[in-house]
Amino acid sequence: MFAFMDSVFTKMPAFLKALFVMLFIIVLVFCLIVGRSLLIPLFMGGFFAILFTPISMFLEKYRIPRTLSCIISLLLMITLAVGLISFIVNNIVNFTQDFDDVSGRLVSVAANLDEWTFENFGINENLSEKIESDYLLTILNENSKSISAFALNSIGSLSGLILIPVFMFFFLLYRDHLVNMMVMVYRDRDPTLVRVRISNLRKVIQSYIVGVGKVMVILAILNIIAYSIIGIKHAIFFGVIGAILNIIPYVGPFFGVLLPIVYAFLTMDSLFYPLAIFACYQGIQLLEGNFLTPKIVGGNVNLNAFITFLGLLVGAAIWGVAGMVLVIPMMAVLREIFELAENTKPYALLMGEEKEKIKELPKDEPKD
């Protein structure tokens, strides 16, 4: 069936091929948008299943039934997730108590800004009169629903919290069935080669996730040390949050440093603290971008920068924050799948890094 479809597609004129590709992309994007409440938990479950597969395989080596090993892996994932959420919630409750005099701080800053703009530009916006505690409470009440909606949209829906562990369990339980299905799809290829490709694909994703995890731990330690030296309260919380948000390329680190900067601006008496946080952020990001990520993560996913950036934009537009987190592993999987067939290898080449061509030096001609 696949061979027949492939032969028909190959014989089509070029403009029909382009038309079919465009229609396929339109239908795919439409399905991703409409089915996001189901697809986001599905892909998140697969993401965690790949991460916890080594644990399940390790338990199965000691004659533990697969069902039990999958349950143990699932409980471990839930424990880690609940621990992380509890840590974040408890710290949020603690540092919100430091915002008792936020309105007074904002009024003082706004008054100074009004005075400066009036003296230099003759403009008086009366910002100090607009910033009052009642005004701030009104803003928070009006936007509280949008904040909760943003949090839910990150995972698709509230039901996604339940579906993620369910999908993870089934992916772990039926992982051999998925491998056999891929072997049947590419039955014109050597089954051993297909199994090796799939095994390598899993190792690539695991290496990427573990590498990102190591970078996150190092960044968390560096952030905590820097914030503690500066004198910022709740340095552990801000350091860990900044490291977690670093998993989102390009925009994640910005939001990770924005939280402590805003906190320092609202609770500290001097602008030195926000500026010092920003300076430390620049230094840590310079270290991360030029040394930590290239050395630890390296080229595990083997995606070029343009495809990565484009994928982040598309992922954010379709699935929001969850799309930005999942898009890089998904594109890495897609690139490896494209490598399995000769007709799709050009797409794998398009997504991957360009290999440097080694120029052969001309050999000296033998002398007579």
- Which of 97, 101, 98, 100 lies closest to 109, judged by CA? 101
DSSP annotation of 122: -
169 and 242 within one domain: no
Distance (Å) of CA 305 to CA 92, 282, 351: 35, 21, 9
Identify which has the larger pLDDT, 193 or 295: 193
- Which of 291, 214, 274, 221 lies closest to 247, judged by CA? 214
Amino acid symbol at 243: A
Q: Residue 141 has what pLDDT? A: 53
CA distance 170 to 49: 9
218 and 168 within one domain: no
CA distance 349 to 328: 16
Model confidence at 142, in pLDDT bands (50, 70, 90)?
A: low
Q: Residue 361 has what pLDDT? A: 45
Lowest mean pLDDT among 107-116, 175-184, 277-286: 107-116
Q: Residue 130 has what pLDDT? A: 56
For Cα atoms 47, 48, 51, give the angle at the middle one, nearest 5 degrees.
95
167 and 215 within one domain: no
138 burial level (CB within 10 Å; 0-12, 13-18, 19+): exposed
DSSP annotation of 228: H
Identify which has the larger pLDDT, 226 or 203: 226
Identify which has the larger pLDDT, 235 or 352: 235
CB 308 within 8 A of CB 249: yes
Is residue 213 situated within a structural domain? Answer: yes
168 and 214 within one domain: no
202 and 289 within one domain: yes
For the cut 80, the answer to whether the pLDDT of residue 313 exceeds it is yes
Q: Residue 76 has what pLDDT? A: 93
48 and 169 within one domain: yes
CA distance 153 to 322: 8
Is residue 184 situated within a structural domain? Answer: no
Domain C-terminal end among 266, 298, 330: 298
Q: What is the pLDDT of residues 226-282, one digit of tens each?
A: 999 998 888 888 899 888 888 777 777 888 888 888 888 877 777 788 899 999 988
For the cut 50, the answer to whether the pLDDT of residue 334 exceeds it is yes
Is residue 134 situated within a structural domain? Answer: no
Identify which has the larger pLDDT, 337 or 148: 337
CA distance 8 to 27: 21
Q: How many domains does the chain have?
A: 2
Q: Which domain holds residue 61?
A: 37-100+160-173
- Tell me, rounded to whole angstroms, the distance of Cα 338 from its chain centroid: 23
Domain C-terminal end among 269, 298, 327: 298
* Neighbouring residues of 217: CB distance < 8 A, sequence distance ≥ 6: 243
**Token pair in block for residue 303:** 């995606």
- Which of 261, 256, 259, 265 lies closest to 278, judged by CA? 261
Is residue 133 situated within a structural domain? Answer: no
222 and 278 within one domain: yes
For the cut 60, the answer to whether the pLDDT of residue 356 exceeds it is no
Average the pLDDT over 135-160 and give the result: 53
210 and 286 within one domain: yes
Average the pLDDT over 291-313 and give the result: 75
214 and 168 within one domain: no
DSSP annotation of 96: G
Q: What is the pLDDT of residues 157-183, one digit of tens each?
A: 556 778 889 999 999 998 888 888 878
CA distance 223 to 241: 10
Length of the chain: 368
Is residue 66 situated within a structural domain? Answer: yes
Q: What is the pLDDT of residues 76-106, one digit of tens each?
A: 999 998 888 888 878 777 766 666 555 566 6
For the cut 60, the answer to whether the pLDDT of residue 192 exceeds it is yes
Domain C-terminal end among 282, 298, 314: 298
Lowest mean pLDDT among 29-38, 61-70, 219-228, 242-251: 242-251
Predicted TM-score (pTM) of this structure: 0.70
For the cut 70, the answer to whether the pLDDT of residue 136 exceeds it is no
Average the pLDDT over 29-41 and give the result: 85
223 and 167 within one domain: no
Is residue 148 situated within a structural domain? Answer: no
Q: Residue 67 has what pLDDT? A: 92
235 and 166 within one domain: no
Is residue 246 situated within a structural domain? Answer: yes
164 and 52 within one domain: yes
Average pLDDT of every residue of the chain: 77
Amino acid symbol at 324: M
Lowest mean pLDDT among 54-58, 62-66, 250-254, 311-315: 250-254
Is residue 211 situated within a structural domain? Answer: yes
